[in-house]
Amino acid sequence: MAVDGSGNVYITDSENNRVLKETLFAGSYSESVIGNGLTDPLGVAVDGNGNVYIADTINNRVLLETLSAGNYTQSIISSNLNMPFGVTVDANNSVYIADYANNRVLKETPSVTGYSESIISGLRLPVGTAVDGGGNVFVAEEYYNDVWKLDFADAPSLSFASTSVGLTSPDSPQTVTIENVGNAALTFPILSTGNNPNISSNFALNSSGASACPLVSAGSTAAGSLAAGASCQLPISFTPAVAGALTGSLTLTDSNLNAATPGYATQTITLSGTGTQGTPAVSWTAPAAITYGTALSAAQLNATSTVAGTFTYSPAAGTVLTAGTQTLTVTFTPTDTTDYATATATVMLTVNQATPIITWANPADFSSGTPLTATQLDASANVPGVFAYSPAAGTVLSSGTQTLTATFTPTDTTDYTSATATATLAVD
């Protein structure tokens, strides 16, 4: 049964397949029947406008009997049910259904096109529902012989996964939904300092989304507002700035339950998470290739980090590397060893072979018929190796200007390339 604000009583006369309305007038009641086509109705509720909601149990549906000019017009709220037992309506005309044989409690939220349905709990054989002024739902569960409170009014507590300093936790954001279950707009006032909602350090609120709750700063020109029956979201993330167990809160100040200035209501969401040692980001671009013989310097050993600390390189500055592809390693030790761990990075450096320097002056002129000797074939190099000449020693050149070629093969063929040089010889 249900009772409206005028004292009228509504009764599910299930065995007679009807719902009765007992209308109070001058201290007595007159009886009438509401609805038609009912089979074993077991739940009834009434809203502030006198509209009646009926759990038509055997027909697996919930009906709305809309009151107008003393008459009722019947429509179906939901037929996707299996033996609905209890039905309740809140101040915003959202309907709660104990969908008995489907082991669930449904919420039917009014929309432009009818109702949008959501499952608010999965319980075993729910038989009755009720809702309080704060939007909390109470459910009688037959299977376990108990009564549950589905707490939608009290702010939740959020716990985030352990996360390295400077990073955002993998379970971020966690979203809390704010719903205005009243019949007037919910106001978010401008505070004298800070933001509303206000959130602690190490945690962040994303207020840029289309469905995000209004964010009002101390410099705002107008308070925030959430219309009756509307909802908004608070997406909260955890990004620890320091290591250790961290706690905080998000505090929302509003006009809940008609609270007004200066005694506005507050709801506090408790936040917690653990910051672990972070791994500093080390940036190090692969250096340009160098030539063998070039000592390592700051031109190659130039890693940077986003946090303060010192760099240790291997090989160290001043080292001359052999030709080829070499690996350079840096170990970064942060100044703040509490919040940050040591980090390493590597880059590859190409060391090109050097070209030997050949010194060879043009030989003095000499007469034809004279064979070439070391006097003419006297090139030298700045590194050990052997020369091969063309023409070779002992060759007798014809008269004229002749070109002599020296090919140098270094002893160290890893770090040096072969080289050639030429000289001009005038033969009389």
φ/ψ of 221, rounded to 5, equals -95, -15
Q: Is 134 a residue whose pLDDT tops 80?
A: no
Token pair in block for residue 42: 């077991």
Q: Give the mean pLDDT of the chain.
A: 94
Tens digit of each residue's pLDDT (9 = 90 or more) over 256-302: 888 888 889 999 999 999 999 999 999 999 999 999 999 999 999 99
> Is residue 11 domain-shared with residue 122, that is, in the same domain?
yes
- Both 177 and 55 in one domain: the answer is no
The enclosing domain of 422 has a CATH number of 2.60.40
Q: pLDDT of 330-348, one tens digit each?
A: 999 999 999 999 999 999 9
Tell me the residue range of the domain where 139 lies: 2-150
Domain of 165, CATH number, reads: 2.60.40.10
Can you tell me the distance from the alpha carbon of 365 to that of 11, in angstroms, rounded to the nearest whole number?
133
Number of domains in the chain: 4
The per-residue pLDDT for 113 is: 86
pLDDT tens readout for residues 277-286: 999 999 999 9
Integer Cα distance of 11 and 148 in angstroms: 25
Q: Which range (160-169, 173-182, 193-202) has the least confidence? A: 173-182
> Over 90: is that where the pLDDT of 78 sits?
yes
DSSP labels for 327-375? EEEEEEEES-TTTB--EEEEEEEEEEPBPPPEE-PPPPPB-TTPBP-TT
Q: Are residues 77 and 140 in the same domain?
A: yes
Domain-ending residue, one of 352, 373, 392 = 352
One domain, residues 166 and 95: no
State percent of the chain over pLDDT 70.
100
- Position 162 pLDDT exceeds 80: yes
Per-residue pLDDT tens digits for 359-414? 999 999 988 889 999 999 999 999 999 999 999 999 999 999 999 999 999 999 99
Q: Are residues 218 and 199 in the same domain?
A: yes
Note the pLDDT tens digit of each residue in 19-75.
Answer: 999 999 988 999 999 999 999 999 999 999 999 999 999 999 999 999 999 999 999
Average pLDDT value for residue range 225-247: 95
Q: Which two tokens stand for residue 165?
A: 């300093």
Domain end: 129, 150, 171, which one? 150
Of 253, 276, 299, which residue is a domain's last?
A: 276
Radius of gyration of the CA atoms of the chain, in A = 44
Residue 97, domain CATH: 2.120.10.30
Please check whether residues 113 and 8 belong to one and the same domain.
Answer: yes
Model confidence at 314: pLDDT above 90: yes
Same domain, 305 and 323: yes
Q: What is the pLDDT of residue 22?
A: 96
Residue 214 pLDDT more than 90? yes
Domain match, 9 and 132 both: yes
**How many residues does this entry show for the chain?**
428
Band the pLDDT of 309: cuts 50, 70, 90. very high
**pLDDT of the residue at 355:** 97
Burial (CB < 10 A; 0-12, 13-18, 19+), residue 193, is: exposed
